[in-house]
Structures are given as structure tokens and as C-alpha cells.
Chains A and B, each alone.
Chain A
């Protein structure tokens, strides 16, 4: 262990820390022990070594929060091999740099960042968020805005509107991330001046029920300002853009809710779909994309309308 302070702290607080660890590891004696042991040795130690100049009280506060977070990370499987690089990068590179100027706010900032990361199920998405984070290193008061923006860009389109508002408040990030004109992001399939348009169709669900998002064939419903997807007894709001797609459960009791009529003939722009294996059932044309459901599939396809100039 490199951090002498951490070694002393762990010894002094051994009873409480051991008790917290024992409670957390119930049910998984082997994997939990090795994964958490590694976390303390490589991640917690590394973090506190780089913040050694902090006062003991600040270090203790961060250590306690990070220790608790480590237990949660272990329980959520974030310390498994496939997620380890992201966790290592977070604790060994990003946090020491980002938190160093803010000893008082550090526990809160750490919790906020980890919570936001927990909304991203895929390690690749988390990496995306950390990439943006590392380049901008937001100050504590700008952290909520940064979380909104970078979470949206990492694949949470439900935060899109709030993120766009945040985008206007931080022109410096636009420059740092080379995103270009913020107004261009009004088009949902624009990814910024570096990546350009997202034009590939997006698939939601699976072609068969097993393992897909839907337990029955999905059906499109519309209400003013919203598109809903219904499958069996369940109903979702569909959020989709160039950065990702999300289905948020809803009670589907909008008074103006109507099913999208079944299409008898495919629009010319989608003529190519008739040559596929799956037969289109509903074709909903929205301002920026087509959404298609199928007679014989438990999936939806979203076809962006791109090529317009932002």
C-alpha cells in the first residue's frame, strides 16, 4: 500500500470498515473478497496517494465515501474484468485530477459522478462519458450540467432537452469537445461537427421474443408530442436520437392516445424494407425519422432522415 495515511486509517477504523464489508459481502464470500481487495489496493490507495496533501478530515470523508462506493461497485459487478479498465481509469486517473482542487466537495462529487455512471449499463457508454469528463473537468457548480450533457451524449436521450439547455450555458465545453454550433443539435441525428450525421437505422428489441425488450409484438401509439410503444400489458415512452435510445415505462393513459394505423403501402423512402424478411406493420413518419413496427417481429426499426444541413 502506497498511501501511509490510508494504511493508518484502515487500521484505526478496522471495526467499522470490517463490519460494513461483512454486511456487504453476504452471499458471495469468494468473488467479493478478491474484487474488493483489489479495489482497496489499486483504486482506493491510488486515489488517496495522489490526494495526500489534503487535510486528514477531508481524506477521511472521501475515504469513507469511496470505501462505501467500492462495496456498491463490487455488488453491482463493476469490479469484474470487463468493467475493471473503466473503474481503474476513474479512480487512478480521472478522480485524482478532477477532485484535487475541491477537497470539501469531493465526497458529493464522487457520489454524483458514480450515480450518473450507474445509469449507463454498458462499459463503452461509461468510457464515453469519462472521455468527455476528462477533457472538461467541470467545477463543482458546473458538475450537474456536465453530468446531464455527457450522460445524454453517452446514450441517455431522455435527458436531451435538459442537456441542450445546459449546452448553451457552457460554450467553453463546446470548444473543448469540438462540437460546433450548439443550434445544430436541435436535429436529433446530428452528433457534432466531428462525427457528423448518424444515418444508420437503429434497432430496438429483438427479432424474436426471447431476450428482447418486448414480450409481445410492439405497437406504436401516438399522442400529441409523444410516441409510445406498447407490447402486451406494458407501454413505454420512446426516446431516441443519434446518441442512444431509451424506453421509459408509462401508464399510457393519455386522453388523446391513438394507435398508429397499419400501413397498407410503404412510403417510397422505405420501399427497400419490402425486400426484407420482416413485413412492416406500422410506419410512423416523424419530423426527423421513420419508426417501423413489423407483423412478424418483436423489434422496432428507426430510420433517421438525414442529409439535411444542420
Chain B
């Protein structure tokens, strides 16, 4: 009776037709006998759609049939959208001019494609677990398998509950630890792993989870179980420590994206009603054609990694990331002028803020945050930007891919400083609670500053670094001296023409690094006679 499921077929129409270029209709007489009534051939429908198309088909299937989600918060535009202002606050509503997406479905799907880790947050009953379940189904598991493999966090959860149990007989008879066989839990072998309410797990069990999440293996009684690469989904009702146990920082940092379940729109109650009356569970209806095999998941991850990040976008990202870690009065030595230095020393932020006298604390983006960006967060950002480009059928990341992915990646990694002058402005007060909006705004401000400084036209530090990256092979002593002089000249220009900001600090550190590399090389050249 599989054939009786009307959702078992996927539309043959492309989910994202190329704009401005109508698709050439490949004329084929066999197309006459194919259509809405199914393939005339008895053979099973084989999925020949490219993986990005299949991923989009999965997205649209979920949006149209599974999750009632009228929120399109990941906006793309081909031309400037016209805002429609609402209320006293004149809040604009934009009607996107290009295909836009619902983050609550898109981000988990990109997590699935790139095999990363996603945290769903939001109040109870908003579809967090249901969405995670759908991702499990995409991985080729049955609803029963996914439900049984789902780990439900609770205050009494032990490491054995999470990972498995030693064989009782071995416990009695073993002469050494390695003789104890472990009955590993089946979920460890799954390609989609779901941990529900992870903030209710006791701290000790969280540490065991951290090892599985971070290093992809589980350990008990000196026995190691290697886990396959997997997409992870965690859910929490609260991201601010409101669970039973505080989540350890390292575990939080392993999470690549945080996606918030947006409220249900009561206008769609009729859909809900029909589901109740008819007893339809979307999890039972996922078409087989949308399931990804292990080989397809491997291929998809490789394709995502192969998407290129153009140099000009990378420079924008570098500029953005350089804004936040710098703190002028946190350290005496240049290298230690970071927020982390003062945090480790326990120096309150407001004390340092009082020392600030030179820079404009309203305009300086670094003043809006309490911390800087970790390397892991930058890696996650790049992966998700690439995954987004892949999802949209592109081979190169676009600026909007970065703009749209950045807030979800940095949601639980870059923290706003509520005392910052920026948030004292009435028009910015709402951004303190709307983290996604604030982070997106922050990146846009950074891009505007990047352009204002003309870095997209000329970036001397980048040019000098590219020169070094080309290699030192064959660089003569004379050339080396010339480059060293140029580095010193650039450093002097930087020092003379700018206030010390995060970007200037990072440029100066880069130039110091280049200076070291060249001077070491020059010394080696001299030693060769």
C-alpha cells in the first residue's frame, strides 16, 4: 500500500529554478507518459536528482507537509525589498524578492547535510523534538528507530544510561578491565543523533556526552567505541541555564548552531485541527525518495566542503571577527590586549570601560560584546555558509549566505554587553533580547565599516600576507629586506593614522608575524653565506 501515499512522490519541478534563465524543456517523447499519476514504468523511482536539489526537496516537503511554519526569517533578495512599517515603533516587515526560508527547518537541514550539531531552543510543545525526529527520518531510519534512539535527558541519567552497560557476566569473571565487554547503546551507531532536553542531564553524564559529541567516541571501562560521523540535534527549553543542571561550557561550545522555535501562528489552527481529526502524523509520511543513504551523506558533506569562499568575503569575515576580542586596557603587552585576559583575571568590564577615553564606544562594534569569537565558531560559520550556498545550488558562498548564517552560529557564542552605550539607545534596546536581529545587524555594521575603510578596494596587510603565502623559495636577501621595510612602513602608517581598534590590533599582529617570518628567513639566508 506504499503507492497509496500521495506524499510518496516528489515534484519533478526544480525547487529553485535559476532566476532570469527559463529552464530549457528537454523535449522527450517519454515525458508524455509520465505525469501526476506516477511513473508508468514498474521500476522503482530512482532518485537521480542532484543532492542539493534533493535537500531542497526535503526542505519543501517538510515546510509543506510536516511542520506548520509560516515564518520566513532567512531572507534573500535579488532587488531591494520594500518595507511595510507597522506600529508606533515603525517596525518594518520586508517582503523578500528571492526564495527565502524558515530557519527552524533550514538550519537543522543544513546541520544534517554538513553533519554538525544543532541546538533547538524554545518553550515546550513548539516542535523541537518533532523537527529533530524528521531529520532522523531523512537519515534513512524509521520513525520507531528514531524515537527509540532518542536520548531523553533527565536528572538521574547516568553514563551507563547514555553509553551502555558492561556485560554482567564479564564483570564477575574478568581478570582485567579489557576483558569487560560493553553492550554499547545502539544510538551511538546512528548517523543522526538526538538528545532531548540536554540541559536536564547531570554534569558527569554531560562530560561523557561531550566526549561523544566532540571526539566521536565513547569510553567505558577502558573500552573504546568509535562512532560514525553524525548530525547531532539537541533540544532545550531554555538556553540561559534554566535546565535542571547547568550545561558545561565546553559542551555548549561544541554546538554549531542554535535555532529558536518560533511561536505557532493561530491562523494555521485549521491545519492542526485536520491533523488531529484525521490522525495524520507527518513522520509516517516521509517519502522514501527523500531519505539519504550513507554514501549520499558522505558525498553531500564533501560537496559542501568543496564550495568556495571568495577572498573578498573571507576578508569581510576577518574584519568582522577582529572587532570583538580586542580590549585595549586588558593587558600591557600588545598580544595580551584581549577580553579573555581580563576575564581570566576576573577584572570587571566596567572598570576597563572607565579607562577607555580614545575610541567611540558607540561606534566601536567591539564594545557591544562581552567576549570575542572562538576558532570553533568561525569554523562553524564557514561550514554553514558553505552549506547554505550548497543548499541554494551555488558553488560559491555569497555575502547573504554569511549574513544569514552568522546569527544562528554565534547565537550562544557572542554575548552582548548590556551596559554598552549601543544598547542604551532607545532604538537598539530590543536587540538585547533579539539576539538573531542583533547579530545580523552587527555583521551589517561591520560590512559597512569594511567598505567605508575601503578595505574591499585595497588591503595592504592582505597583500603582504599573500606575498608570504606564495612561499619564500627563491626570495633573495634584497627582496626580503625590501619586504621587511614595507612591513615596517605599513606598521608605522597603521600606528599613525588610526585609533587602536580590534581590526588595527589584528593587522598589527599579522604584520609582526610577517616581520618575524621574513627576519628569520633573512637570518637563515645570511647563515648560508
Contacts and interface: CB of A to CB of B under 8 A. Distances in A.
Contact of A22 (B3, B20, B34, B279): B279
Interface in B406-453: none
B269 interface: no
Interface in A184-198: none
Contacts of B274: 26-27, 29
Contact of A119 (B23, B35, B285): B35
A273 interface: no
Contacts of A19: 4-5
Interface stretch (B37-45, B227-235, B258-266): B37-45
A23 B6 contact: yes
B529 to A, nearest CB: 63
Interface in B1-42: 1, 3-7, 20-25, 27, 29, 32-42
Interface stretch (A63-71, A209-217, A282-290): A63-71
Contacts of A148: 29, 32
Give the secondary structure class of B's interface: loop
Nearest to A166: B29
A114 B37 contact: yes
Interface residues of B, number: 31
Contacts of B285: 23
Interface in A55-97: 64-65, 67-69, 71-72, 75-76
Interface in A239-262: 248-252
Given A23-B6, A72-B6, A111-B38, A151 B22 contact: no
B32 A151 contact: yes
Nearest to B35: A115
Given A23-B7, A111-B38, A250 B22 contact: yes
Given A148-B29, A159-B29, A115 B22 contact: no
B37 A69 contact: yes
A16 B24 contact: no
Contacts of B32: 115-116, 119, 147-148, 151, 156, 159
A234 B22 contact: yes
A23 B7 CA distance: 8
Contacts of A72: 6, 36-37
A205 interface: no
B280 interface: yes
A179 interface: no
A125 interface: no
A71 to B, nearest CB: 6
Nearest to B2: A16
B79 to A, nearest CB: 14
B36 A64 contact: no
Contacts of B27: 158, 248
Contacts of B35: 114-116, 118-119
Interface residues of A, number: 44
A174 interface: no
Given A20-B4, A26-B274, A248-B25, A76 B36 contact: yes
Given A22-B278, A118-B35, A251 B22 contact: yes
B23 A111 contact: no
A251 B23 contact: yes
Contacts of B23: 249, 251
Contacts of B271: 26
A144 interface: yes
Interface of B: 1, 3-7, 20-25, 27, 29, 32-42, 271, 274, 278-280, 285
Interface of A: 13, 16-17, 19-20, 22-24, 26-27, 29, 64-65, 67-69, 71-72, 75-76, 108, 111-112, 114-116, 118-119, 144, 147-148, 151, 156, 158-159, 162, 233-235, 248-252
28 contacts: A16-B1, A20-B1, A20-B6, A22-B279, A26-B271, A26-B274, A26-B278, A64-B1, A68-B4, A72-B6, A72-B36, A108-B40, A111-B33, A111-B37, A111-B38, A114-B37, A115-B35, A115-B37, A119-B32, A159-B32, A162-B29, A233-B20, A235-B22, A248-B27, A249-B22, A249-B23, A249-B24, A251-B22
Given A111-B33, A115-B38, A252-B22, 20 more contacts: A13-B1, A16-B1, A20-B1, A20-B5, A23-B5, A23-B285, A64-B1, A64-B3, A68-B6, A69-B37, A76-B36, A111-B40, A112-B40, A115-B36, A116-B33, A159-B32, A233-B20, A249-B24, A250-B22, A251-B22
